Amino acid sequence: MELKLNENIARDYKSASQKARVLTEQWVDDSVYCPNCGKNYIDKYPNNQPVADFFCVNCHEDYELKSKQNNVGTKIVDGAYRTMIERLTSSTNPNFFLLNYDLSKLEIINFMVIPKHFFIPQIIEKRKPLAPTASRSGWVGCNIILKNIPQTGRIYLVRNKVIKPKEKVLSEWKKTLFLRDTEEVLERGWLLDVIYCIEKIGKKDFTLNEVYGFEKELSKLHPNNKHIKDKIRQQLQFLRDKGYLDFVSRGYYQLA
């Protein structure tokens, strides 16, 4: 995987934003493999495709590309809020490629993929409607809040200009595919919230009581559930059954 952008393909563009779009899209088209099946290249959809930017002809996964210069930051600007929320429950919701580049040096800094099963309403922030004086008065956009996505849902192919081994990327992708079996967005949200809490503990080995320590936080996220501890145990059992973590002994767990 080459981390340099090919300046020659964008010489006819004067706008920096247009130049960056052409350069980054071409880089993905030329350099990126499918993180789902490992096929050595993915293909670009024709421009203005309503759902995605790239697709894999082998496994039919779709990918939408979001690019940002210098620093990915904590949020990514996306399209219409209503459309995004509708997409979360749709089979056409794509996976997300997030690309961080340095246009002055024509190089890739970071490149990650967020599998579509990590997209739930909690990671989508509703922006203020456009002012009455705007050409699209009243239009409401949204942001993707990266900090609300568990680390396990942010799979780097390139991090700080270092290319990650393909085998590791494919392994990290497969680790959470079981989440796609949970079609109900609310239930998937519960699983992701518990995964997020486990990550906050920051240890490979952890106890049930340590996860219980997030009871108040989870109560705020799920105010209609009056049995938070029971739900935590249920989610841990599910994660154990799916091989995400191991049951060591009563009240003790270990990340697989």
1 assigned to some structural domain? no
Of 146, 174, 202, the position where a domain reaches its end is 174
Please tell me the pTM assigned to this model: 0.90
Report the CATH number that the domain containing residue 159 is assigned in CATH: 3.40.210.30
Of 174, 206, 233, the position where a domain reaches its end is 174
Each residue of 78-124: pLDDT tens digit? 889 988 888 887 777 899 999 999 988 999 999 999 999 999 888 99
Each residue of 7-60: pLDDT tens digit? 888 787 778 888 888 999 999 999 999 999 999 999 999 876 667 899 999 999
Tokens linked to 33:
């493999």
2 assigned to some structural domain? no
69 assigned to some structural domain? yes
d(CA 111, CA 7): 19
Q: Are residues 17 and 100 in the same domain?
A: yes
Phi/psi region, residue 106 (left: phi>0; alpha: psi -120 to 50; beta: rest), is: left
SS3 229: helix
Q: Are residues 84 and 121 in the same domain?
A: yes
Of 150, 174, 198, the position where a domain reaches its end is 174
Structural domain of 158: 7-174
Measured between alpha carbons, how far is residue 52 from residues 65, 66, 95, 164 in Å? 8, 11, 8, 24
Q: Are residues 216 and 170 in the same domain?
A: no
Each residue of 221-256: pLDDT tens digit? 999 999 999 999 999 999 999 999 999 999 999 999
27 assigned to some structural domain? yes
Q: Are residues 144 and 22 in the same domain?
A: yes
Identify the pLDDT of residue 121: 86
Each residue of 57-80: pLDDT tens digit? 999 999 999 998 878 788 888 889
Q: What are phi and psi of 78, to 5 degrees?
A: -125, -165
Nearest in space to 43 (alpha carbons), one of 31, 57, 60, 22:
57
SS3 165: coil
